[in-house]
Amino acid sequence: MPAHFTGICSFKPSPGRFPGRGHLPPCVGPFSVLGAIGPMSRTMRDVALLFRTLGGQDPLDPNSPPIAFRERSPDELRANTIGFFEDDEIVPVTPETRTAVRSAAAALGDAGFRVEPFRPRSLEPLRQLWWTLFVQCGAMFYAPEIAGKTHLLSPIFKEFLSIAESAPPLTPTQLLNAWAELDVLRGKMLEEMRAFPVLLCPVASVPAFRHGERAWTIDGRTVEYLDAWRHTQWFNTLAAPAAVVPVGRSPEGLPIGVQIVARPFEDETALGIASIVDCAFGYRPPPMARA
């Protein structure tokens, strides 16, 4: 999302491809799946360079897999059928966001890829599970650490806690069931991605917004804060690599990115295809902030 809002490129690797040792908050528990450390830069070329330089197995990180970087050839990349979709038919996106997705799909088609409309059926269950494990479980996870220190927390963390408190605390049974459901849902999504191992979709429903804004009207419907970036929540839950490339602009000139997602541990595929999209559109400096 930071890259989408600021008009730069970024990459969320499969968890562990960038070792998490030393990161705060720790990449443990639910965050060993939902969380990932990745680079941001003006171009996908620099993002890929950072991935090759900083990635690799850490023998002291239990979530770091022994997978070496492997460049994908153009022919290997084009062997992947790309499925694209503009929304999930639950929460709308701006017209300019739809245009950005279509433009990226057209650019990949021109580059020799097979690109077809495709929307996975598992998106909403993945989002619901993200809410359980990231929001509710996340608040429970940090409750002992922040007890008596809430006055020291950042405004955004306080807001996160207030959102989490809007739902009742998870019971032990609910938490265990959610942990088991995580594997079941990831399996279902991977089955759907057998025919479309790469997905192209929005990063968020809206471009960058003013501080304090928490709802937007799109196509006559209200889109709430966390619902506006459900597109990233799906793939955090899936633990899939996802690259973001700036493609479009809003009527105000604000950048709009698209998201290129591959199956877990197919990081080099997502990077390679995102680089092709980046070459088609190129870096454009975002407008200066205005009052």
Note whether residue 290 is domain-resident.
Answer: no
Note whether residue 159 is domain-resident.
Answer: yes
Note whether residue 200 is domain-resident.
Answer: yes
Note whether residue 105 is domain-resident.
Answer: yes
Q: How many folded domains does the chain comprise? A: 1
Note whether residue 31 is domain-resident.
Answer: yes
| Cβ-proximal residues to 9 (8 Å cutoff; 6+ apart), any chain | 3, 40, 41, 42, 43, 44, 46, 47, 243, 244, 245, 246, 274, 278, 283
| Cβ-proximal residues to 275 (8 Å cutoff; 6+ apart), any chain | 44, 45, 48
Q: Which of 20-29, 63-72, 114-123, 272-281 has the lowest mean pLDDT?
A: 20-29
pLDDT at residue 289 greater than cutoff 60: no
Give the pLDDT mean for 253-267: 97
Is the Cβ–Cβ distance between 55 and 17 less than 8 Å? Answer: yes
Note whether residue 291 is domain-resident.
Answer: no
pLDDT tens, 49-63?
A: 999 999 999 999 888
Q: pLDDT band at residue 173, thresholds of 50, 70 and 90? A: very high
Note whether residue 234 is domain-resident.
Answer: yes
Q: pLDDT band at residue 290, thresholds of 50, 70 and 90? A: low
Provide the mean pLDDT of the chain: 94
DSSP state of 170: P
Residue range of the domain that includes 59: 2-281
pLDDT tens, 185-236?
A: 999 999 999 999 999 999 999 999 999 999 999 999 999 999 999 999 999 9
Note whether residue 213 is domain-resident.
Answer: yes
Three-class SS of 188-202: HHHHHCCCCCEEEEE
CA distance 79 to 142: 43
For residue 247, what pLDDT is reported? 98
Q: pLDDT band at residue 282, thresholds of 50, 70 and 90? A: confident
The CATH number of whichever domain residue 57 belongs to comes to 3.90.1300.10
